[in-house]
Amino acid sequence: MGAGGFGTAWSRTFLPEARDRVRILAIADIDATARDRAGTALGVPAERLYASYDRMFDEVDADVCFIVIPPTARLAVVQAAASRGLAVLCEKPIAATWDHALEIGRIVRTTGIPFAVMQNYREQSRIRTLKGVLQRPEHLSVNLIESRFAANYTIETAGGAFRHHIPDAFIYEGAEHHLDQFRNLTGAAADWVQGHQWGTPWSTFGGPTTLSLVIRMATGTMVTYQMNHIERGEQYGWHREFYRISTEGGSVTLDRGNAIRIVRDTPGGEAIDEVVAPHDDRDGHHALIGRFLDWLDGGPPPFSTFDDNIETMALTFAAVEATHTGRRIDVGAKLAAGLATLPPARTGS
């Protein structure tokens, strides 16, 4: 479901490389050009290219639906897929609002469908390697994480510039990647968040372009995070983000490349080590699609089921609230209040 925009990467790259495990039976998209292009790439006949997802679900006997549409339109599609008993793997985030994310959780828990979110950043080789370093005994105690994303965008070069006209998509579609990463790297939920987002007179964007957050994780680790879409200096764009992690055993830094730099202060001066993440052209989306299909084949659920990813959504929408109100937002309380409105979780939901 969804063949335009990022759906193009799914039809041209991700799904063709899973041909040994999955057969695409039908495609739905409101744009005829997009669905025809995807149909050609995936070998789907013209009679199985649909403008209406409801009609597609009614006419096609399938096992799973991959949802690659903007989060603002996702709730109705998840409801329709779940009502037919389809497993769902959807792009992140779960939804464009906290209320819609909870409603999707209500659908998932009521129907019991397998449901997972494409948090592909956790499956990057550079992040896997960084996490492996942090799991060494000397680095298990993390004091501080400093992270930043920085890119020199204009409204013309921002790729999917329409998103920058949607309130707070800057956070829930962009920063959400990194907020999930802090949970991944610390192995902990967020405790509270506070911050601010703003724009500048010299930006070509109409709304906020820069975000600064302070987050306390449940382990006591503090996180400082910056996201800047109008950085005119050093670039730390997608897949090149900066992380510096201060641990009991030293500092662990992942810069713009794939090399993790480990520095220990010793009586004889700084001791420096380096670990290079291996190249892996099957990481990211490829890896998580594989994990999801393993689950459907009887294996363990992937890490990004609803019951896990709703913690990332709680942090994300708490960050939105914090920047709107100027207050420190209790993420744990927000999550608990939201989950209290849902039916009990089913195993693997």
- Side-chain-side CA neighbours of 336 within 13 Å: the count stands at 7
Q: What is the pLDDT of residue 167?
A: 86
pTM of whole model > 0.85? yes
- DSSP bridge partners of 28: 50
Burial (0-12, 13-18, 19+ Cβ within 10 Å), 43: exposed
Nearest of 216, 188, 3 to residue 91 by alpha carbon: 3
Cα–Cα distances in angstroms (integers) from residue 81 to residues 24, 76, 178, 305, in the given order: 15, 9, 29, 16
- 37-55 per-position pLDDT tens digit: 999 999 999 999 999 999 9
Q: What is the DSSP string of 103-116?
A: HHHHHHHHH---EE
Domains along the sequence of the chain with CATH = 7-120+284-305+331-339 (3.40.50.720), 122-276 (3.30.360.10)
- For the chain, the 3-state helix, strand and coil shares in percent, each to the nearest 5, are 40, 25, 35
pLDDT of residue 131: 97
User: Do 330 and 337 contact (CB within 8 A), yes or no?
Assistant: no
- What is the enclosing helix (H) or strand (E) of 287? helix 285-296
Residue ranges for the chain with pLDDT beneath 50: 348-349
What is the tens place of the pLDDT at every residue in 242-258?
Answer: 999 999 999 999 999 99
Residue 160 pLDDT:
66
- Asked if 184 and 161 touch (Cβ cutoff 8 Å), the reply is no
pLDDT of 348 reads: 46
